[in-house]
Amino acid sequence: MARSAEPAKLPEEISRQLRLVVEFHRWSGSPEGVTEGETIYADQFSRLRSDTRELQRLCDSIAGHLKGRLPGEIETLLAAGRMYRRSADYHKAAEYFLKALDMVYREYGCG
């Protein structure tokens, strides 16, 4: 992915949230548990639904800030995540959102 002449910078708060989510996912290896909550099996579906809502909110914040400057590959992952979330496949939606966030993390750097 080629960067534009002047790389876009994400706001500090979005960078912090992005770093937290991506690094948490790298350590845990699972989309579940991105937000705080109970670990009881019966609650996993609603937790994952809530987690994907938060992931989508973060993705939308990033996309809104970069205003069309996201590479097409990342836009495609975000669209797929939104589609899976609308169809209530929250695990698949989380996978796509996390892939997109990881790519944004690598592309724009948040260290």
State how many domains the chain has: 1
Structural domain includes residue 4: no
Residue 34: give the domain boundaries: 12-108
pLDDT > 90 fraction of the chain, expressed in percent and rounded: 41
Higher pLDDT: 54 or 24? It is: 54
Structural domain includes residue 32: yes
Please tell me the predicted confidence (pLDDT) of residue 110. 67
Structural domain includes residue 3: no
Structural domain includes residue 20: yes
Please state, in angstroms and rounded to a whole number, the distance separating the CA atoms of residues 38 and 15: 26
Structural domain includes residue 2: no
pTM of the model: 0.75
Q: Per-residue pLDDT tens for 84-105?
A: 999 999 999 999 999 999 999 9
Whether residue 107 has pLDDT greater than 80: yes
Q: Which of 12-21, 47-56, 92-101 has the highest mean pLDDT?
A: 92-101
Structural domain includes residue 22: yes
